[in-house]
Amino acid sequence: MEPVPTPSKARRFNERTLKKLQAAFELDPEVDLVTKLPTDYSNRLDGWRSQKITVPETTARKRPDEADIRLSLDASVPIETIYPLSQSVLDLVENLSQSSGSTSDTFSERLVEMIQASQILYTGPSARCKMAFKCNSSIVLKAVRNMTDFTEYTTLQYLRQHLPNIPIPEPLGLLRLDPVVLIFMSYQPGSTLTNV
């Protein structure tokens, strides 16, 4: 397979910014686009440009099913709240944003940054379709592409309410950031159900 260039952080930043501008334009074709740029756009872009790249400029072309699901997350897409996020998840997103010095303007951007920085716990048969991440010592996230059935989440809710002694994760919120559904839950260390 032929090598493809690895997109730089500056390029990805510009792509996200351009998507935000396009979304604003679609809502109002007469919008002042300058007001939709991040307040420190030039400084952030200069910072991304000046970073030394330590990985090779090209990588082998990956098959689509080998791609990381996080590559599908687009902070410019509106978030659909299916089940509200717990305060612990909201605090995590805000605290990580502040501690990393992030200047992201929207909750969507801060959420995507938090997911990008999270540790991978599990990769499904196709990482493009399903992955699980450890966001911190007490919160995990399951990301699933094109999920329409939320039985897993409602089952967790039911079991936590009616059988609280069963050691299962506590559901902490469910969002859709098209095309990916984000399921937040408490971290339960130990054996998986498969191993038991």
Considering the chain, what is the average pLDDT of its residues?
80
Q: What is the 3-state secondary structure (H, E, C) of 107-172?
A: HHHHHHHHHHHCEEEEECCCCCCEEEEECCCCEEEEEEECCCCCHHHHHHHHHHHHCCCCCCCCEE
Q: Is the pLDDT of residue 98 over 50?
A: yes
Over range 4-22, report the average pLDDT. 72
By C-alpha distance, which of 9, 97, 99 is closest to 46?
9
Tell me, what's the pLDDT at 54?
44
Tell me, what's the pLDDT at 103?
64
Q: For residue range 18-67, list pLDDT tens digits in order.
A: 777 777 777 888 888 778 777 777 777 777 676 644 444 444 444 444 47
CA distance 137 to 121: 12
β-partners of residue 115 are: none
CA distance 22 to 33: 9
Q: Where are the chain's structural domains?
A: 1-61, 63-196
- Find which of 12-21, 35-44, 80-89 is predicted with most confidence, using mean pLDDT: 80-89
Q: For residue range 130-180, list pLDDT tens digits in order.
A: 999 999 999 999 999 999 999 999 999 999 999 988 888 999 999 999 889
Tell me, what's the pLDDT at 51?
60
pTM summary value: 0.63
Fold for domain 63-196?
Answer: Phosphorylase Kinase; domain 1 (3.30.200)
Tell me, what's the pLDDT at 99?
67
By C-alpha distance, which of 68, 50, 72 is closest to 59?
68
Q: How far apart are the first and last CA of the chain?
A: 41
CA-CA-CA-CA torsion sign (28, 32, 38, 44): positive
